[in-house]
Amino acid sequence: MRLLERVAEHQHGAPAKQLARETGLALPTAYHLLRTLVHEGYLRRDKGLFFLGEAAERLGSSGAQQKRRSTVADVLAQWREAIGVPVYYAMYRDGEIEVMCVSDSPGSPAVEEWADFRETGHAHAVGQCLLAQLDEDARRDHLDRHPVRSLTPYTVRDDHTLLRRLERVRRMEPVTERQEYALGTVCAAIPVTVGTTAATIAISLPAHQADQLLPAAQQLQHEISCFLGSLAISISI
């Protein structure tokens, strides 16, 4: 690990003798470890100098991704505590709806995913919010792959009705659904678009607290506006 750290400090590479000296390793030991790291792909050798290899770069990329995930989880937890409701973060990526992170508590549990969120985007606020951010062709492509179907008596009945509803969604306007995905649950989703990435932050409440949904969504919008900078950095979680 010390050898990897020292190599990372030398943008233009470093020879074995210098790395051995900087790490306090005997030269034969340093040579042995360096050969092993090269063999495993963590380092590469070019003209007697050692550089970070693809395996080390993948490791660094994974660490950065974990840090972004941790940042998003922390922010969602803050919003959950501030508003007192479960909070969800989802994206539309590679043609599919992906719920990336959920923050809930025993007193305010998240909605149970009893039907695959990816296949039922027409029925929940998260999916409707993401689909509303897509262009018409992308929406129709999604619905061709994941057709509208009834999950509850309140679910939208057909593609035409859903598409008309999505067209009426205004930019940055909360998308709400009431018991369309799960009986006894109401949800609201706030669109978050960075570049070409469609994303959303959503909340859910028991149906008997439906009168609190819009005030909670408005509070969520305020919280999002305050943290938009850190969210933009983490949007590619």
How does pLDDT run across 12-44, given as a tens digit for each residue? 889 999 999 999 999 999 999 999 999 888 898
Of residues 190, 175, 196, 198, the one with CA closest to residue 224: 190
Mean pLDDT of 184-188: 97
193: its two tokens: 């678009």
Indicate the pLDDT class of residue 60, thresholds 50, 70 and 90. low
What is the rounded CA–CA span in Å between residue 98 and residue 113? 12
Q: pLDDT category, 65, cuts 50, 70, 90? A: low
What the chain holds in terms of domains, given with CATH numbers, is 2-52 (1.10.10.10), 64-233 (3.30.450.40)
pLDDT band at 236 (very low <50, low <70, confident <90, very high): very low
Q: How far is CA 3 from the centre of its chain?
A: 33
Is the pTM above the cut of 0.75?
Answer: no
If phi over 0 gives left and psi between -120 and 50 gives alpha, with beta otherwise, what is residue 84? left
Tokens at 130, concatenated: 């993401």
Mean local confidence (pLDDT), 124-153: 95
C-alpha dist (Å) from residue 167 to 73, 131, 171: 31, 10, 10
Residue type, 151: L
Stretch 143-164: mean pLDDT: 95
Distance (Å, rounded) from C-alpha 234 to C-alpha 237?
A: 6
**CA pseudo-torsion sign 166, 169, 172, 175:** negative
Higher pLDDT, 129 or 171: 129
Given this model, what pLDDT does residue 68 score?
57
Strands (E) in 104-221, as ranges, are 175-178, 185-194, 197-206
